[in-house]
A = this chain, B = another copy of it.
Amino acid sequence: MSERTVFFLSDQTGVTAETLGHSLLTQFDGQKFRQVTLPFIDTEDKARDAVRKIDKSAERDALRPIIFSTLVQDELRSIVKDANGLHLDIFDVFLEPLEAELQLKSTHTAGRAHGMSNIETYMKRIEATNFALANDDGGITQNYEVADVILVGVSRSGKTPTCLYLALQYGVYAANFPLTDEEFDSGALPELLLKQRDKLFGLTISPTRLRQIRKERRPLGQYSSAQQVRYEIREAEKLFRRYDIPFVDTTEFSIEEIASRILDSKGVERRVRP
């Protein structure tokens, strides 16, 4: 199958172009894509350089590239328009109807979306990240009162990455507490969790996947044995059901999806929107 090259053009980070493009491209089976991000196109020279790169890849692939562009400044847009490819430009399409609806002219300023428009936003994300790190793996538990959500689950069920994602993406304060033999033996959650029962959210995972993940950490021993892994997961899910804790199976979901389901299920407000 011949490859098609996809370019993400931006005068900023390229995150918006990448996100949009990825959403659309996943709708197509039967085509392989080579993805190239060209960020920080903020001068005419850089715009011309982007055109050269695109044209070169059009020649090499013998298929014209697809170009997702989020350039804001008109001079740069008009340079890039000459590149050989299918141009898909969100500002072209959506800015005009928005201007009409809001009865405002857009500012056409580069770098608004993921620039530091707001120091407060930056600080909130950093603080939430620090919170997630400090309250990881049951390390500190006295901060549960300020947590927005507390994830519970067995070791390596995805708690830490999910907490960090919630912090970085949404500024949400997420702590996590590992379920271990102490909880399984007693069949009960500790008092410090039960006091915050409405903040609890469970993560579970398939035994096969959990073994695979644990084996990379510790190849030998009980920790990654089939029996142990099955036991822990079964007991954890029993606890979720006993205390009526909503939970998701992280085997099937991406980090974005786990995070969104948690916010949705617990009704937690996003503190920032990057």
Residues of A within 8 A of B (CB): 4, 12-16, 18-20, 22-24, 26-31, 35, 37, 39-40, 64, 66, 70, 72, 86, 88, 90-91, 93-95, 97-98, 101-102, 104, 106-109, 111-117, 119, 121-123, 125-127, 129, 133, 158, 160-161, 164-165, 168, 209, 213, 216, 251-257, 259-261, 264, 270, 273-274
Contact = CB atoms under 8 A, between A and B. Distances in A.
Given A15-B19, A23-B16, A95-B27, A257 B114 contact: yes
Closest 9 A-B residue pairs measured CB to CB?
Answer: A26-B112, A13-B260, A114-B256, A27-B106, A23-B113, A16-B23, A19-B19, A86-B101, A13-B256
A16 B122 CA distance: 21
Contact of A27 (B15, B109, B260): B109
A255 to B, nearest CB: 6
B40 A260 contact: yes
Given A16-B20, A24-B90, A165-B168, A102 B254 contact: no
A25 to B, nearest CB: 8
B260 A115 contact: no
Nearest to A88: B94
Contacts of A20: 16, 19-20, 90, 94
A44 B66 CA distance: 33
B115 A98 contact: no
Q: How many copies does the complex hold?
A: 2
A248 to B, nearest CB: 11
B24 A95 contact: yes
A9 to B, nearest CB: 13
A98 B24 contact: yes
Contact of A102 (B22, B28, B39): B28
Nearest to A31: B102
A209 B161 CA distance: 28
A27 B108 contact: yes
B30 A104 contact: yes
B70 A125 contact: no
Given A116-B252, A260-B39, A90 B27 contact: no
A255 B165 CA distance: 13
B13 A16 contact: no
Contact of A259 (B13, B18, B270): B13
Nearest to A66: B101
A16 B35 CA distance: 18
A161 B64 CA distance: 38
A123 B156 CA distance: 12
